[in-house]
Chains A and B, each alone.
Chain A
Amino acid sequence: MPLGTKSERGQFSVSRHDLVHLQRLEAESIHIFREVVATFEKPVMLYSIGKDSSVMLHLARKAFFPALPPFPFLHIDTAWKFREMIAFRDRMAREMGFQLLVHINQEGLERGINPFIHGSKLYTDVMKTEALKQALDHYGFDAAFGGARRDEEKSRAKERVFSFRTASHHWDPKIQRPELWDLYNTRIAKGESIRVFPLSNWTEYNVWEYILAENIPIVPLYLAKKRPVVERDGLLIMVDDDRLPLRPGETPLLKTVRFRTLGCYPLTAAFESEAETLEDVLVEMRAMHTSERQGRVIDHDQAGSMEKKKQDGYF
């Protein structure tokens, strides 16, 4: 059963009181962006191309207007992103005029690390966590913006807005710095860094409301369309290219699906939906009974998955 039902176009809009709340969230995020730029030597924004990154890009443009965001955008590529994501990324860099850095773990690539043979855990470790650490070390970034929200996952609900990392990118959730009011402690020693989460207090719903209210471009995969998928272990996996090894008996079917989150295509499940517009998406979300990261295979590959990945340096 598709989760969403089609709403009549134009009927849905973000209410006035929700706009006031979004305006507060926007101001808080802008404050965070500016604080980092004013106090760190070499900040970077982690650009994952998803909806949260789209909102972050928009907020960064607002924060420094009429100047451009004074930091580069870093995409950790894994060679397994949806093709539409890569096209969208390159278009955004071109149209918005930001400096795009793309890093891929060459060693992992050469060793042919992929999610099918090596499993999602090793693949994520090598192609995402390791790759991210390599890039941060290579460029010497001392602050990195990430789009994580506290409502996403239980260990993220525990994290500070300014989250300290040791020189080896380790996060110790047991001794986080106290974080009082909006007085962020930006002091670090050489080699250490801070991960900064301007969307900490946003919910998934706020993100969609804001995308609608601000007309922010997003990857089309978030909206329903007929796409080739196979059903595997109860999840709908999109056949984005011919590298997806089909198991015996699997034949791609065309289904009207969309995505709630976007990552590497073999690890990100689609779901059946008729929500073709942002308004439809918001209506559908109101009726949803599952949490956001349910379609992420990597969140479920071990107990306390996200916390362990985060301690090792994953975003």
Chain B
Amino acid sequence: MWHVLKRILGDGIVSEPIPEPATDWYAEEQSIRGEMLAILGRALAIREVDTGSCNGCELEIHALNNPLYNIEGLGIKFVASPRHADLLLVTGPVSRHMEEALRRTYDATPAPKLVVAVGECACTGGLFGESYASCGRVANVIPVDVTVPGCPPPPIDILRGLLAAVKSRPESGDINPHTFSAGFN
């Protein structure tokens, strides 16, 4: 135990400053409604769904939990069920074998159910494209709010995409969360 404490004290706090949100990555067809985000504030529960990635994107999403990015310190955490999630973080082209699982996950997520597509494959279909086995990009299967490009995008870009998704939090506290239906479907 002594060694553990010594190491922790020796390291101190290594977390780095928060990056700017990447608002230019809003998907064209979907723009995020400010009132939905008012409900969320900046606390955010994410359900990660891999629908066919090479697992490179997963490695970089994992990295967000390391002490340098310290994503939980920003009020953002990964949760174990879509029913607990505000946002789906989707990687990979959508393989046809994962198409129904992704739809069901989306249906199980309560509104406002933001969707962030992470990585080249999720944004465009990438190298794998569309085929007998692949539906291509995530937007071909469910609506997407923000796309984060890169193969894979570095953690800082994934964080900027997430912050873009939760950005427009109003400064004043005059929005009554009860006027919006959180909804369960």
Q: Do A and B bind each other?
A: no
> A residues engaging B (CB < 8 A)?
none
